[in-house]
């Protein structure tokens, strides 16, 4: 999403939601976020689960030294102990090997996801071990640049939504999805705004 697209979307969201109209002048529009797509991105997602950004980056640095070309066959051909020595847990190695096996077997295609609908992408990704709906929705938003995704399982997103709506507590994922229905077709930009608001909410 370009800054121009975000600006256009924020104006539409402000018209659709008076709470966004109130908050937008206070914190401004969010910046674009983009991630790579493809097999290596899914491998990196497995590595980063439940780790700090710094720890994940250090492990990926060692993985990239071990596997200069990070693709499915290279992962299958690499001994589990070598991946363990690079810093992956045995559970994450299991997930990474499963991802590579699915890619090689043709039951999963990282490159083929962009030809699927949002729900088909979610179904395909969550069929892999180690990937939940949140991971699938983040991939849709940042790697495939889909405009209408709301990852309601994200804690910061729900905390920010609760604050924006002046609730006493954060909404449940189900409540959050219902609360932002009127943000369609720009729920991805609405999500970006909530993360931005979470960090820069005025006192």
What is the mean pLDDT, run by run of 10 residues, along the chain of 203 residues?
92 97 94 92 93 93 96 97 97 97 96 96 96 95 96 94 94 97 97 92 54
| Residue pair 38/111 in contact by the 8 Å Cβ criterion | yes
Q: How far, in Å, CA of 118 to CA of 113, rounded?
A: 9
Residues 6+ apart with CB under 8 A from 201: 27, 160, 163
Computed from CA positions of residues 84, 90, 95, 101, in that sequence, does the dihedral angle turn out positive or negative?
Answer: positive
Rounded to 5, what percent of the chain is helix, strand, coil?
A: 65, 0, 35
Q: Which two tokens stand for residue 177?
A: 């999805």
pLDDT given at position 34:
86
pLDDT given at position 61:
96
Best CA proximity match to 70, nearest among 84, 60, 56 = 60
pLDDT given at position 203:
45
Record: fold of 39-142? Endonuclease III; domain 1 (1.10.340)
Residues identified as active-site = 154
**Rg value, the chain, Cα:** 19
pLDDT given at position 170:
94
State how far the alpha carbon of 54 is from the alpha carbons of 48, 50, 59, in Å.
Answer: 9, 12, 9
State how far the alpha carbon of 64 is from the alpha carbons of 39, 68, 81, 83, 135, in Å.
Answer: 13, 5, 16, 11, 22
pLDDT given at position 202:
55
CATH code matching the domain that covers 3-32+148-200, chosen among 3.40.50.9100, 1.10.1670.40, 2.40.160.40, 3.40.50.11810: 1.10.1670.40
Instruction: Give ranges for CATH 1.10.340.30 in the chain.
Output: 39-142
């Amino acid at each position: 999403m370009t800054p121009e697209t975000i600006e256009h979307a924020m104006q539409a969201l402000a018209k659709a939601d008076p709470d966004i109209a109130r908050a937008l002048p206070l914190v401004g529009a969010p910046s674009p976020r983009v991630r790579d797509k493809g097999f290596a991105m899914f491998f990196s997602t497995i590595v980063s689960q439940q780790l700090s950004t710094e720890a994940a980056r250090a492990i990926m640095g060692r993985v990239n030294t071990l596997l200069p070309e990070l693709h499915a066959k290279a992962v299958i051909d690499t001994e589990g102990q070598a991946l363990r020595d690079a810093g992956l847990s045995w559970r994450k190695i299991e997930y990474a090997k499963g991802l590579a096996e699915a890619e090689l077997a043709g039951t999963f295609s990282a490159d083929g996801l962009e030809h699927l609908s949002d729900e088909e992408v979610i179904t395909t990704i969550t069929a892999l071990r180690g990937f939940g709906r949140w991971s699938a929705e983040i991939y849709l938003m940042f790697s495939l640049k889909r405009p209408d995704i709301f990852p309601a399982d994200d804690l910061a997103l729900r905390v920010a939504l609760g604050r924006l709506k002046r609730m006493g507590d954060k909404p449940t994922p189900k409540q959050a999805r219902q609360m932002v229905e009127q943000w369609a077709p720009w729920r991805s930009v609405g999500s970006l705004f909530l993360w931005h608001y979470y960090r820069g909410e005025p006192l």
